[in-house]
Amino acid sequence: MRTVRGPDGRTYLLVKQSSDASRVRDPETGEEQHLPNDDLEAVSGESPLETAARAVPEPVRRILVAVPTERGLGLLVDLVDRGPLPVVDLLGAYDLCESDLHGLLTEFRAAGLVVEATVYGERGYEATDAAKEGVELLRANGARE
C-alpha cells in the first residue's frame, strides 16, 4: 500500500495497481474507486498507515496515541470532567503512585492533552480543548452502541 494524490488534490491509499488504472481508498470514508494511473502522483515521505489513521479525528488520535491504559484514560476523563485539579488532589484521589501519576501527566502534556495550571494557589493540571473534544467524540461514539 502507498499514499498517492489524486487529480482532485485529495490523498488516497493505493490498494491495487494494474497497467492502466489503480484501485484507491479514501482514508476518510473507506470508499474505494478506480482512477487512471496517469492521474495519480506518489506522495513521498508519508506512511500509508499514517494516512489511514487520519480517518480518526485528530483529538481522538492524540488520546489513542498518548494514553497507555484504562487507568490513564480514566485520569484524562476525570481531568476533563472535574479539572483543573491541584496535583495534591490528584495524588489523593487515585490509586496511582506519585511516579505513575507524573509519568502519565508528562505523556499527556507532550501530546497537548493537559497543561500546567495554578489551582487554589497550588500547582495542578487542566485538560486542553483537544482533550475535551477528543473525550467528547469518544463518548458520543460509545453512546451509539
d(CA 55, CA 73): 21
pLDDT in tens, 8-31: 999 999 999 998 999 999 998 889
pLDDT in tens, 70-79: 999 999 999 9
Note the pTM of the prediction, 2 decimals. 0.76
The CATH architecture annotation of domain 1-53 reads Roll (2.30)
Higher local confidence (pLDDT), 83 or 128: 128
**Bridge partners (DSSP) listed for residue 24:** 14, 33
Average pLDDT value over all residues in the chain: 91
Is the omega angle on the peptide bond into residue 84 within 30 degrees of 0, that is, cis? Answer: yes
The CATH architecture annotation of domain 57-141 reads Orthogonal Bundle (1.10)
Q: How many CB atoms lie within 10 A of CB 63?
A: 24
Domain ranges of the chain: 1-53, 57-141
